[in-house]
Amino acid sequence: MLWRKNLTTTNDVITVENLSKSFGNLEVIKNISFSVHRGEVLGIIGPSGSGKSTLLRCICQLEKVSGGSVSICGSTMVKDGVYAEKNELRRIGLDVGLVFQNFNLFPHFSVLRNITEAQQIVLGRDKDHSREIAMDLLKKMNLETKALSYPCELSGGQQQRVSIARALALKPQVLFFDEPTSALDPELTGEILSVIRDLAKEKMTMVVVTHEMSFARDTSDSLIFMDGGVIVEQGNPREVIETPREERTKAFLRRFNKN
Ligand SMILES: Nc1ncnc2c1ncn2[C@@H]1O[C@H](COP(=O)(O)OP(=O)(O)O)[C@@H](O)[C@H]1O
Ligand SMILES: [Mg+2]
């Protein structure tokens, strides 16, 4: 369909069309389509088990889709369920970064090595250059004094900032966050949200799965509410959260506000 080409502007960092994913007989993602423009923050909210993590993992190549298409920065990763060849997938994989709920730092590496290791192995950067980049990012995260500490010596909020630095060190075109604050105490949550807010001000393209409703409302440019593997509602974050159209969204937000 040629006309579709015109709809997918070069400003699209992510284009997802009719993505589906099943685990055995369990259909977890059902025909989802959306796009994210350069410099935009897409928020994703929804109950546990609605398929949010699976969606992110599919786009970041940690899971294989069952059907549909995904393009990153104009390059086709998978089209109608057929994947690009290996080298192309590897190249496309470098454009995306993922920050996990539980940090996923290497416990036996120092903070510095957690940030330099992938730069050296994945991008082939030399030691000095990768250290320079790591130290700049640690400064930005207010952690320059922790370079030689080990993850277990840091607070959860500090560990999550290290994992954000690790992801940024690879200079991805888009950064995904999968509930980045849900393993943190409320007082540590704020410091991570403020890092993400700063990245948004710098126009980093991001997709953020979160249960922090006021953050989602104020920081995202667009918001998706997912339930049961489908996008139930999508639009202006303030409208989705404050005046949802769909019953399922209303019910979720009501339940949420009670907690
Ligand atoms: N590796 C897997 N094998 C089988 N089922 C899975 C797997 N990963 C996730 N699921 C199932 O997929 C559904 C969606 O999970 P998930 O994407 O983690 O949802 P969310 O992140 O919204 O909580 C759940 O029913 C979950 O049990
Ligand atoms: Mg999840």
pLDDT of residue 187: 86
pLDDT of residue 166: 97
| Distance (Å) from CA 258 to ligand 1 centroid | 25
pLDDT of residue 258: 66
Q: Give percent of the chain with pLDDT exceeding 90.
A: 93
What is the residue extent of each domain of the chain? 105-171
* 173, pLDDT greater than 60: yes
Which residues lie across from 83 on neighbouring strands? 78
- Mean pLDDT across the chain, nearest whole number? 94
Candidate of 45, 50, 54 to mutate for ligand 1, largest count of ligand atoms within 8 Å of Cβ = 54
Which residues lie across from 14 on neighbouring strands? 36, 72
Secondary structure (DSSP) of 191-231: HHHHHHHHHHHTT-EEEEE-S-HHHHHHH-SEEEEEETTEE
pLDDT tens track for 34-78: 999 999 999 999 999 999 999 999 999 999 999 999 999 999 999
Q: What value does the mean pLDDT take over residues 163-169?
A: 97
| Distance (Å) from CA 91 to ligand 2 centroid | 26
φ/ψ (deg, to 5) at 78: -145, 135
Q: Which atom of ligand 1 is nearest to the CA of 57?
A: 17
* 4, pLDDT greater than 90: no
Pocket (CB within 6 angstroms of ligand 1): 23, 26, 28, 46, 48-54
Confidence of residue 9 (pLDDT cuts 50, 70, 90): low
Q: What value does the mean pLDDT take over residues 160-179?
A: 97
Ligand closest to the CA atom of residue 47: 1
